[in-house]
Amino acid sequence: MCGIVGYIGSREAYPVVLKGLKRLEYRGYDSAGVALLNHGMKVYKKKGKVAQLEEEVIGKDIQSNIGIGHTRWATHGEPSDRNAHPHVSNNGKLAMIHNGIIENYVSIKNELLKKGYTFKSDTDTEVLLNFIGDIKTNNECSLEEAVRIALKRVVGAYVILLIDEDTPDTIIAARKGSPLVIGIGKNEHFLASDASPIIEYTKEVVYVNDYELAIVKADELILKNLGNEKITPYVQKLDLELAAIEKGGYDHFMIKEINEQPHTIYDCLRGRLDPVAGTITMAGVQNNIEQLKNAQRIVMIACGTSWHAGLVAEYVFEELCRIPVEVEYASEFRYRNPVINKGDVIIAISQSGETADTIVAIDKAKEQGAFIFGVVNVVGSSIARLSHAGAYTHAGPEIGVASTKAFTAQLAVLTMVALKIALEKGTITHDRYMHLLNELHEIPDKVKLLLEDAENVKAIGLKYKDAGDFLYLGRGYNFPVALEGALKLKEISYIHAEGYPAAEMKHGPIALVDEKLPVVFVATKDAYYDKIVSNIQEIKARKGQVIAVITENDETIPTMSNDIMFVPEADEIVAPMLSVIPLQLLSYYIGVAKGLDVDKPRNLAKSVTVE
């Protein structure tokens, strides 16, 4: 949610902040704004995308060496100029940007209203800003101290950046529950929600932890906790290249990231999987193998696409490791009173590693004695730091809001973890283990091969772009793939779509079938093949439009399908990494054909860091 950027140093701040906002726009694009300090506070903000802000600022005074900027995903208050960040305090001296939600803002606002404060927006952010300003005035204290006092009262999640006319050489920042990274340059500092705005200028960064406050000057970075105790910043080196966050000649990030999957899956396997030696090398698994193989239960916690990866992994772990697995939506798990026993293993799956519901859920499980294993993409993210152990997916930055390459990388990691545990536990034969190692090793080349069928998928997308509804069906390992295909179509094309187990179709959804309804079957050859052929015949008998994802050389299903998308043959345990890709392409091409912004679908944001 919401992208934040800050700069202080010798450069002109506005170009740095603006470029950073463009790189963070996938985190929110309802409105954007900047605040600059130069002989007074200058704030420019505009409803819409960063491009609208850029037009708004033409001809304005933007000279400054210190600035903060924000691109918004609306939580409190509709998208509008007045609700856009930065917000300015009643006295005009403070400006603030905020990512998160202040849950007790109403009580604080009522206190301030009684004191005569007025509010120009509907946001919780403006309330927190004036609360900080009120403390600063009444206590005659520094902005740093006022922020510290205010945050002890605040309930909710936040990253805030503030600038103050009275101290024009300082940015104050603080975080709880939302990400903040600070880049360290030569007599300059960069602040952002993630590393993408920073890597152009420096690769030395500090990841700010929860309940930490940063006092940032051009030549100095001070970290403190809310008890005013200094903390030594831990400087890390970014393993990220600028080219990874550029489109590289593609029309959209989404299609770039779909096409990167041969490379990203290979990177995920590289250095870990050796099919010749018959080994999987994963320190996070090996160093905790007793905990993992002796687990009485595994609970996978995730949201959205990551939840679908967990559903596939449920089949894999139960089949190979013979350990009971539950897959939970983090947003539901955190509010229940789940039964967690000491020794249970929680696998937290998240692309960003900052998903708010997942973070709270694993905190809750940790308190009850569970062992936390994180599967995340972003190095240094909150879930990575909170987990006892884990594995990075190494998919690289994913800019498109609809997750694609992160999903297949998650499946690759989870499959390796399951194979490693199964071998150690003795629940898989050596021959089966070696077979699956080779199957997994061949996935990148098979993905590359099936991407060559993209023009066929594009033609199918054009054919069905005006459909009002879609039904996605699959069985076994391909049932979660059907769910993921339906989600992608909803996200990218705004077409209503449902995913269902194919056998459950007769228990309700078959009532929707007529000659206008496209029904997508994920029907690769596996243990369920004969059954899903029967399900296809049931749809054809009712004149439904059958689109089938099938294994190459299948001669049966093409005779009963309107359209087909081929994938290479693979063992059913690794097949979802192949069968999902035509569905990613289908949603992409339908979205493009409808003239939609597939990288930034309406109402969605990349990293959901609020409830």
Tell me the catalytic residues: 2, 606
Long-range CB contacts for residues 428-431, cutoff 8 Å, separation at least 24: 428/320, 430/278
The strand ranges marked E within 365-438 are 371-376, 389-392
C-beta separation of 161 from 216 below 8 A: no
Alpha-carbon distances, residue 471 vs 310, 494, 502, 509 (angstroms)? 22, 14, 10, 8
Rounded Cα distance between 78 and 97, Å, is: 17
**Residues paired with 461 in a beta bridge:** none
Q: Which residues pair with 158 in a beta bridge?
A: 100, 177
Q: What are phi and psi of 427, to 5 degrees?
A: -100, 10
Q: Which residues contact 351 (CB under 8 A, 6 or more apart)?
A: 305, 306, 376, 377, 378, 393, 395, 398, 403, 406, 410, 607
Using CA atoms, how far apart are residues 508 and 164, in angstroms rounded to an integer?
A: 60
DSSP label at residue 140: T
106 Cβ contact list (under 8 Å, min separation 6)? none
Contact 378, 353 (CB under 8 A): yes
CB atoms within 10 A of CB 517: 19
CA dist 61 and 157 (Å) reads 33
DSSP state of 322: -
Instruction: Let me know: does 519 contact 535? Beta carbons within 8 Å.
Output: no
